[in-house]
Amino acid sequence: MRIGIVNPYALDVPGGVQLHVKGLAEHLLGEGHHVRVLAPSDEDAELPDYVDSAGKAVAVPYNGSVARLLFGPVTASRVGRWIERGKYDVLHVHEPFSPSLSMLAMMAGEGAVVGTFHSSTARSRVLLASMPLLEPHLEKLTGRIAVSREALRTIHRHEGGGDAVIIPNGVYVDRFAHARPRDEWRSAQGRPTVAFLGRLEEPRKGLAVLLAALPAVLDAFPGLRVLVAGPGDPTELCRDAQSRAVAACEFLGMVTDEDKERLLVSVDAYIAPNTGGESFGIILVEAMSAGAPVIASDLASFADVLEDGADGVLFHTEDAADLARCMVDVLDDAPLREMLSERGRLRSRAFDWSRVAADIVDVYETCVAAQAGPVTTSAQTKRPMRRLRGRF
């Protein structure tokens, strides 16, 4: 099958959508499909050989974060030419609501076009105002996928209808399960280790909540080490935190995929203190795959992944005292950690790419069977695109 995948965000910036797109593309290539991915990128970015650059992205606030997006008439022309050259059996656009490549590809594509919705957002006035222009193009989607119940609710909030099959994000579970621990990241007598991964300066990732919880945890475990990985400058957060909480943290900066796997398999627990805006929680599945017990805020999306606390520990979102209590309980109870590790490993198998990609291919095949030929481009895309420019 010839498959064109459109990613709205720059692939060289960490993110769940980017991780999902790369994982899906690599699995499909391994299964013998022809796959090309279109994504924004800087000129000097090192891209996998299956990725085509659509040009340099611009950093804009989006969905409680800063996303690097690409939009405009020149980009629309590039997207159209890419679709025509590809002669794809199916075009798979990720985040059709985002004002970037995926929206342009959805507007341009005619035929077997599948949309995957990742985001969990409250009702957006800008998006609602743009719905009359977007709806005819959303209706062209021959298949819809939501990565979670929260993502499905986002579709319903903004369209007021429409439906999608829920297929979660995928993980290469065995890569984490078989990773080699690093001795310097493992616990020692009286010195347990926990991990946090995320963009440090993004408030919704919750590092400030974790820092606020640490003094109470340090009262019980004075030797606690908190391994913090991810891009960003922690200076401002550290300025507002207690000095001993900051002293307990080891800031690793950006880590490679291999080091992420080795980090998660090395620690006594993974902490996910996110405060909102999460539709799935891929890092939770990665931690469970590695056997790390997960302690996470009780966001609906996280509760779904952890089966309402059966496969991990949930604390009240943004409640640092409750997070501290949960951390102490888990770190103080080796049998509990062993049980959470085993249940997490079993749960993570439901998200392995071997299962997730098979479900996605089923959607592809259903959509392709209903079409007469490869995806083509619509001649009616320029005018609505120009009208949308003023709304985003």
Helix, coil or strand: residue 5 = strand
Is 276 within 8 Å of 299 (Cβ atoms)?
yes
Backbone phi, psi, residue 366, to 5°: -65, -45
- Give the separation between CA 269 and CA 338, rounded to whole angstroms: 11
pTM of the full structure: 0.88
Superfamily of domain 173-350: Glycogen Phosphorylase B; (3.40.50.2000)
Same topology between domain 2-170+352-389 and domain 173-350: yes
Backbone phi, psi, residue 90, to 5°: -145, 140
Q: Which two tokens mark 43?
A: 């000129």
Residue 99: half-sphere exposure toward Cβ, Cα within 13 Å = 25
- Beta bridge partners, 109, equal 377
pLDDT in 10s for each residue of the chain, 392 residues = 999 999 988 887 778 899 999 999 999 999 999 999 999 887 777 889 999 988 776 666 555 555 556 667 778 888 999 999 999 999 999 998 877 888 889 989 999 999 999 987 654 554 444 555 666 678 889 999 999 998 898 888 766 556 789 999 999 999 999 999 999 999 988 899 999 999 898 999 999 999 999 999 999 999 999 999 999 999 988 999 999 999 999 999 999 999 999 999 999 999 999 999 888 999 999 999 999 999 999 999 999 999 999 999 999 999 999 999 999 999 999 999 999 999 999 999 999 999 999 999 999 999 999 998 899 997 555 454 555 454 44
Helix, coil or strand: residue 146 = strand
- Give the separation between CA 24 and CA 358, rounded to whole angstroms: 10
Instruction: Quick: pLDDT tens for 19-45.
Output: 999 999 999 999 999 999 999 887 777
Instruction: Quick: pLDDT tens for 305-325.
Output: 999 999 999 999 999 999 999
Boundaries of every domain in the chain? 2-170+352-389, 173-350
Q: Which ranges of the chain would DSSP assign to H, the alpha helix?
A: 16-30, 73-86, 101-108, 125-138, 149-159, 173-177, 207-220, 235-240, 243-247, 257-266, 282-289, 300-305, 320-331, 334-348, 353-369, 382-389
Instruction: Quick: pLDDT tens for 328-381.
Output: 999 999 999 999 999 999 999 999 999 999 999 999 999 999 998 899 997 555
- Could you say which of 3.40.50.2000, 3.20.20.70, 3.40.50.880, 3.90.1410.10 is the CATH number of the domain covering 2-170+352-389? 3.40.50.2000
